[in-house]
Amino acid sequence: MPENRQYIEQPYFSIVTPSYNREKLLYRLYKSLCEQQFSDMEWVVIDDGSTDGTKRMIEGLQAHSPFPIIYRYQSNGGKNRAINHALKVATGYFFVDIDSDDYFLPRSLEKYKAIWEGLSPEEQATLGGMVADCVHTDGRIVGRPFPEDKIVTNAIKLRSQLKVRGDKLYLYKLGVIKDRPTPEFDGESYMHPTVRHRRIAQDYSLLATTFAGRVKDYQVDGLSADIPGQIPKSLQNPQGYRLHAREAVDFGAKENLLEIWKECINYSRFSLHCGDGFGAQIRSIDRKGVFLCSFLFGLLRYCKDRIVYPSAVQ
């Protein structure tokens, strides 16, 4: 059993779903939770300013759900703010965020519980949680899977050492993630989730399992998708993308020097969009030698942005 878990007051899982105008897809996710044959959980829905019938539908589900449903509304501010909001209300032992367009396979949460409780209390105490493979709707593994089951690793080593790719399901102890909210920037609504995962990886390892219980159903209007004819998401959120690139460099989160160099280019590009010149950039980044070899290329990318998307440039 998990160390120090209060069984009477604390659910095993807080399933957290940020949502914006996803009324129809939310019901599919709810049905998948009901199919778990496992009710030791709560579902935390953070409504990110929806204008459809999300609130009415969730209130209807609350009346007969076999597990508690916590609904909170916030003004539209993006997924990272919704996750931070959920950190304030979630009470489960594990904090598990799942997008509104995804769902769980039957009995998968029960399986994750069994995997965790197969560890000794001493092993549980040293880990920040678990990470698992995901599948597409046709059953294919998303990205590149873990090389073997039950590896102890972290979000940085997954890519830089194990060469794992694609979206994964992260199941963090609430106490681990609660003190590490995602950074928020005024006027920006998107922050890549790897920022949160990499920061946790500085202090905690995870148990990686090849059991894939989460189904990813990518939508054309998904959070990370760019819409043709509109300003790219990266240029709408330059501070978040600058942070994502800088920490990839500083944390050594890429598998080789070439990829570190590419991230330095991104760092310079988005720093320039944020109004930071050469001096401010070199003072802020650790790998100064690689940065010096990349700054000109970042400047060229920035200049291209000015030409192609002039309205996005400060």
List the chain pLDDT tens, one digit each, 314 residues.
Answer: 565 544 447 999 999 999 999 999 999 999 999 999 889 999 999 999 999 999 999 999 999 999 999 999 999 999 999 999 999 999 999 999 999 999 999 999 999 999 999 999 999 999 999 999 999 999 999 999 999 999 999 999 998 999 999 999 999 999 999 989 999 999 999 999 999 999 999 999 999 999 999 999 998 766 555 566 688 999 999 999 999 999 999 999 988 899 999 999 999 999 999 999 999 999 999 999 999 999 999 999 999 999 999 877 65
In a domain, 94, yes or no: yes
269 and 209 within one domain = no
At which of 216, 250, 267 does a domain end? 216
28 and 97 within one domain = yes
278 and 198 within one domain = no
Q: At what angle do helices 23-34 and 54-62 cross, to 10 degrees?
A: 20
First to last CA, the chain: 53
128 and 26 within one domain = yes
pTM of the model: 0.92
Beta bridge mates, 152 = 207
Could you tell me the two tokens for 160?
A: 């830089």
289 and 186 within one domain = no
In a domain, 1, yes or no: no
In a domain, 18, yes or no: yes
Please, which residues have CB within 8 angstroms of residue 152's CB and are 6 or more apart in sequence? 127, 205, 206, 207, 208
Backbone phi, then psi, for 20, in 5-degree steps? -135, 110
Which pLDDT score is estimated for 314? 55
In a domain, 174, yes or no: yes
161 and 277 within one domain = no
Structural domain of 185: 13-216
In a domain, 59, yes or no: yes
Q: Amino acid identity of 197?
A: H
177 and 121 within one domain = yes
In a domain, 160, yes or no: yes
Beta bridge mates, 46 = 18, 72
In a domain, 278, yes or no: yes
143 and 280 within one domain = no
286 and 151 within one domain = no
154 and 88 within one domain = yes
186 and 266 within one domain = no
At which of 164, 191, 216 does a domain end? 216
At which of 164, 183, 216 does a domain end? 216
CATH at residue 90 = 3.90.550.10
Please, which residues have CB within 8 angstroms of residue 14's CB and are 6 or more apart in sequence? 41, 42, 44, 86, 90, 91, 92, 94, 95, 96, 174
Which pLDDT score is estimated for 6? 47
Which pLDDT score is estimated for 37? 84
203 and 68 within one domain = yes
In a domain, 313, yes or no: no
* Total tally of structural domains belonging to the chain: 2
